[in-house]
A and B are shown apart, each in its own frame.
Chain A
Amino acid sequence: MSSVSNPPSIVRRTPRWLPLLGRSANPGDAVFRSVSRLFALLILVLVLAMAAQMAFAAEESFKEFGWGFITSQKWDPVGQRYGALPFIFGTVVSSLLALLLAVPVALGIAIYLSELAPLWLRKPIGFLVELLAAVPSVVYGLWGVFVLAPLMATTVEPALRSTLGFLPLFSGPNQGFGMLSGGVILAIMILPTISSVSREVLQAVPANLREGAIALGATRWEVVRVGVLPYARPGLVGAVILGLGRALGETMAITMLIGNRPEISASLFAPSYTMASVLANEFAEASQDLHLAALAEISLLLFAVTLLLNIVARLLVWQVSRGEAKGAR
């Protein structure tokens, strides 16, 4: 066989270390893949390091108080007694209150923007709702202190007391800074999270489900209820849980509005305290080791709870979007 031209050079002399980086005949590829993988792994390392670091820092407190830490009501830096229950209570109640207020509104917005609004209106309104998420927490806090709290104290709380005052929830002195104001500000802040994720979930519902209902002569709301919502339900639950995660970890605005008193009260008007708030207020000034350890344990708790919630929420949201990928085929 006579070859006229020189045989092309397609063989590369590979460096010895190349097999260490996985099977690839191109050294540039092998190096690049390894470097990018390294940085991807960094994310994993970061989360594990956070958990480990906080667990390590909290060790002393855990040894001293054990499980009693989360059931004790006493938070006394002077007497070196630490119990996290008031903070857990404040965090959970303010977040649930926020959900109660925000979920119906957020779902209404999501349904409006993905199903009902005229097309030309969807983008600008969606943008405005997302701007709500762009305003920094501390600015909401500022607005809360000077606008929302006075409004609550002079108008909303008296009105609630005069109508629903027979409930312990709405009794006690109105002061503007307390659980209710904290819940309202949190609701405003998680609203865009819930509505934008819900909107994505609704838009991921395959069109043929809607068309099925339309073809049966359904009204627009019935299309949503019969054709869209059943399919989107897990994703919507996921959106709500993401919102809850946001609310639990939210710090500045609620610190500025909730009153910061580690007490458990039946009244929503009374001041309370959250886990994130006590970290914000005391962490920089804590000088004793046990105080720092107790705060670290609170931080670890908060981290663990939000982590768990996020995992559940992501799984639910993925379930819907995976279904979309399948339906498209």
Chain B
Amino acid sequence: MNLEPAEPVVTAPTPKVKAPSAPGGAEEPSAPEVKLSAEDLRARFGTTQVLKGISMPIEARTVTAVIGPSGCGKSTFVRCLNRMHEVAPGAVVEGRVLLDGQDIYGAQVDPVLVRRHIGMVFQKPNPFPTLSIQDNVLAGLRLNGTRVPNPAEVVERRLRQVALWDEVKDGLDRSGTSLSGGQQQRLCIARSLALEPEVLLMDEPCSALDPIATARVEELIHELRADYTIVIVTHNMQQAARVADTTAFFYMGELVEYDQTDVIFTRPKQRKTEDYITGRFG
């Protein structure tokens, strides 16, 4: 703690090594598209400051990992990105978060609509216990009052997308809570995807899962990267190294370093980052 506070090193977004499969009609190697961008984001619970001014652009169709020791504000950060932080009593957010250039904390913005564009997967799988598997997939649409003309098709498509279809196709009427933890978490991801979000936030999605289930979720993240912008909070550095294009290191509510994942893990620019990834604290 005798380290003097350094200016955060924010290098991303840099052109990625692996070019994303550009959606139809996109032009030549244009500048990387920033999907989501935090600007001087501050968050607190009552008088406890949890985030102390985070500025961080997130590129479209990449996986960004957020790592850091417990209590560093990484969960709060992602919860600020779809206005889930303010749900807790006493929680306050200041600063801006731009989604395609539009401030989601703007005066006229309805947080409910924000969350339809920015989906979220939580630490503990949380399927709705009163709903069946298929109804869980459709929950976001149905409960929002959207008419689903071809529910069976939507269910199959989303369950295939999360590689759950073959495991559950014979018991779609069973309760969502009858599944194993890993299956439940994939069901929750399918449920989010059914709303066709552009961004998917994942708050330690594997912390309640065993290694095999974790591997499947990581595989899934790999596949989803082609179409979605993903931000994943993890306390597991190997996981960050495996799944993320870019990684952000948070410490005590500040963004210490943000760069390509291989840079963070092989030649970090900050002493603090190096200490953390080499396991000297945290």
Contact = CB atoms under 8 A, between A and B. Distances in A.
Q: Do chains A and B touch in the complex (CB under 8 A)?
A: yes
Interface of A: 1-5, 7-14, 25-26, 29
Nearest to B104: A10
B117 interface: yes
Contact of B101 (A3, A25, A26): A3
Given A8-B100, A8-B198, A3 B33 contact: yes
Interface stretch (B19-27, B206-214, B234-242, B263-271): B19-27
B117 A26 contact: no
B110 A26 contact: yes
Nearest to B114: A10
B102 A7 contact: yes
A1 B109 contact: no
A81 B25 CA distance: 97
Interface in B60-107: 99-102, 104, 106
B113 interface: yes
B112 interface: yes
A25 B110 contact: yes
Contact of B102 (A4, A10, A25, A29): A10
A7 B110 contact: no
Contact of A5 (B30, B100, B104, B109): B100
A5 B25 CA distance: 10
B30 A2 contact: yes
A3 B35 CA distance: 9
B129 interface: no
A1 B101 contact: yes
Given A10-B99, A10-B102, A4 B109 contact: no
| Interface SS of B by simple majority | loop
A4 to B, nearest CB: 6
B17 interface: no
A8 B109 CA distance: 11
B179 interface: no
B15 interface: no
B112 A26 contact: yes
A8 B111 CA distance: 13
B14 to A, nearest CB: 16
B108 A14 contact: yes
Contacts of B100: 3, 5, 7-8
13 contacts: A2-B27, A2-B30, A2-B31, A4-B26, A5-B198, A9-B113, A10-B104, A10-B117, A11-B106, A11-B108, A12-B109, A12-B113, A25-B109
Nearest to A28: B112
A13 to B, nearest CB: 8
A14 B109 CA distance: 9
B220 interface: no
A11 B108 CA distance: 6
B34 interface: yes
B19 to A, nearest CB: 14
Contacts of B31: 1-2
B198 A12 contact: no
A8 B104 CA distance: 10
Given A7-B100, A10-B104, A25-B109, 17 more contacts: A1-B31, A1-B34, A2-B27, A2-B33, A4-B25, A4-B26, A4-B33, A5-B198, A8-B99, A8-B198, A10-B114, A10-B117, A11-B102, A11-B109, A12-B109, A25-B110, A29-B112
B101 A7 contact: yes
Contacts of B33: 1-4
A26 B116 CA distance: 14
Contacts of B113: 9-12
Interface string B179-222: 00000000000000000001000000000000000000000000
